Amino acid sequence: MSLARALLQRPSALGPAAIRFASTARPVSLKERLAELIPAEIENVKATRAAHGKKSFGPVIVDQLYGGMRSLPALIWDGSVLDAEEGIRFRGKTIPDIQKALPKAPGGQEPLPEGLFWLLVTGEIPTQEQVIQLSKDWAARAAIPEFVEELLDRCPPTLHPMSQFSLAVTALNHDSAFAKAYQEGVSKKDYWGPVFEDSMDLIAKLPNIAGRIYRNVYGGGKLPAIDASKDYSWNLANLLGFGENPAFVELLRLYITIHSDHEGGNVSAHTGKLVASALSDPFLSYGAALNGLAGPLHGLANQEVLLWLRKMQAKIGEEPTDEAVKEYIWSTLKSGQVVPGYGHAVLRKTDPRYTAQREFALKHLPDDKMFKLVGQIYNLVPNILLEAGKAKNPWPNVDAHSGVLLTHYGLDQMQYYTVLFGVSRAFGVAAQLIWDRALGAPLERPKSYSTAAIQKIFKDKS
């Protein structure tokens, strides 16, 4: 067994210097860096709990039990934290920060999602070499089992792409390193190793799954092979048939980076964490997360936005007046539907992910008719939502913009959009699952109450 392998199997037995010594010929890998970071983080969590473990986070009110647990402090999520006014920070960094700091592809301007994953896992900005190493590692792991290919090929094209995606990801559990290790009696303190391997496999295999679904449902012929000399987003674009379009590849780099993580309480992230807390492997956990992402109030909203825009254009034309757009928005609200792409459970300002996409559009497609319509809607919806008086946040979220960019480049099959969101969200969920197992996160089991029980509690107290 090589020294590097021995180190990886028993990282805690040897110090960081030894690990660095073993890898002088190549950059320190993500797994090696993680092995260095875990012992200190275990101590950090212990110290935090010792200092603050018995302190209150404030009262829980009954409305929070009925109201979807809004603002209830209930989860630990290290990769990112969401501020209602400012938006997301990945390991403390805003979207403009990471656009500046993360490594880029040669000639590219957008951050490479490989770098974002490194940042989510370690809290550190990787070197160009480390990012290249990650691209190559994922390319080497990208093949999917033949039976998963067959499973996808047998899905009727009428089955929603998200259902196909979730089926395929769940089926990857067949080869889970963690499920196998658990059956073989792996010790709790070593859970993170096979969970790391599964997480890397999961992310690496998503382009082949996503590409196969796209070509099966929408045509486009045989899938090309993964090119190990190219980055993750280029390969995904190529599998979809857009590898020759550098602007589309750049868009995917930005898209995957900004959709990756949105702290822990959103439906997909929380579902992944919850399911994994039962020690279900990362494939089962992420399959469950995808089923949540497929809901129209969450990730599917990007599909809904495009459908809504198309219906609007069909009704009032491609370049409508403000009055016609206003009337259309009101008719949506009056018929008891939501305006897709607007509002948010936490945010109270324009989503910085919307802004990042708008800036991309201003640079690459300023004259696109649908982009202009999206801008026009931005000037009208917030006032109407405020006037309607219900939504706590009248501003656009990430989903208000993404479909327009994809459509511009010819990816206009909106039912497919949430699959791309799903590829991206795997980065954030996987990073947290690795840490949850490294830090020994317990089974999740909050307390529930019936309405009768609540009435009794307060009757007894009054």
Ligand X SMILES: CC(=O)SCCNC(=O)CCNC(=O)[C@H](O)C(C)(C)COP(=O)(O)OP(=O)(O)OC[C@H]1O[C@@H](n2cnc3c(N)ncnc32)[C@H](O)[C@@H]1OP(=O)(O)O
Ligand Y SMILES: O=C([O-])CC(=O)C(=O)O
Q: Which of 210, 275, 346, 361 binds ligand Y (CB under 6 A)?
A: 346
Query: CA angle 407-411-413, nearest 5°?
Result: 95
CB of 266 to ligand X, least distance (A): 6
Give the per-residue contact string, 260-289, with ligand X (x = CB under 6 A; - = no).
------------------------------
Contact between 343 and ligand X by CB under 6 A: the answer reads yes
Positive or negative torsion for Cα 197, 198, 203, 205 = positive
Closer by beta carbon to ligand X, 73 or else 220: 73
In this complex, which beta carbon is closest to ligand Y, that of residue 332 or of residue 424? 424
Length of the chain measured in residues: 462
Q: Which entry of 298, 351, 408, 436 is annotated as an active-site residue?
A: 298
Can you tell me which of 199, 233, 397, 402 binds ligand Y, judged by CB under 6 A?
Answer: 397
Q: Would residue 344 show up in a list of annotated catalytic residues for this protein?
A: yes
Give the x-and-dash track for 375-414 against ligand X (CB under 6 A): ---------------xxxx---xxx---------------
According to CB under 6 A, which one of 266, 271, 418, 432 is a site residue for ligand Y? 266
Shortest separation between residue 51's beta carbon and ligand X, angstroms:
33
Ranges assigned E (strand) in 47-195? 80-83, 87-90
CA-based nearest residue to 360, from 232, 233, 241, 253: 253
Place of tokens 């009055």: 323
**Two tokens at 73?**
């402090």
CA–CA distance, 310 with 137 (Å, rounded to integer): 40
- When CB distances are held under 5 to 8 angstroms depending on the partner's kind, the choice from ligand Y, ligand X, none that residue 393 binds is ligand X
User: Which of 345, 365, 377, 429 contacts ligand Y by CB under 6 A?
Assistant: 345
- Looking at residue 93, the DSSP 8-state letter turns out to be B
Kindly indicate which of the ranges 220-228, 246-254, 294-302, 410-418 contains the residues binding ligand X, using the contact rule CB under 6 A. Answer: 294-302
CA–CA gap between residue 424 and residue 74 (Å, rounded) = 24
Contacting ligand X within 323-342 (CB under 6 A):
333, 338-342
Q: Does the annotation count 174 as an active-site position?
A: no
Could you tell me whether strands 80-83 and 87-90 are parallel, antiparallel, or unpaired per DSSP bridges? Answer: antiparallel
Whole-angstrom Cα distance, residue 443 to residue 448?
Answer: 15
Active site residue: 137, 231, 281, 399, which one?
Answer: 399
| 401 a catalytic residue | no
Q: From ligand Y, ligand X, none, which one binds at residue 297 (CB under 5 to 8 Å depending on kind)?
A: ligand X
CB contact at 8 A, 373 and 429: no
Measuring CA to CA, which residue among 403, 398, 430 is closest to residue 416? 403
Nearer to ligand Y, 71 or 376 (CB): 71
Give the whole-angstrom CA distance, residue 16 versus residue 20.
6
Output b/e per residue, 159-169; b: 16+ Cβ within 10 A: ebbbebbbbbb
* C-alpha closest to that of 374 among 358, 388, 363: 358
For ligand X, which is the closer residue by CB, 357 or 393?
Answer: 393
- Minimum distance, C-beta of residue 453 to ligand Y, in the bound complex (Å): 28
Report DSSP state, residue 188: G
Q: Which of 262, 344, 401, 408 is catalytic?
A: 344
Query: Residues with catalytic annotation?
Result: 298, 344, 399
List residues binding ligand X (CB under 6 A): 297-299, 301, 333, 338-345, 390-393, 397-399
List residues binding ligand Y (CB under 6 A): 262, 266, 345-346, 397-398
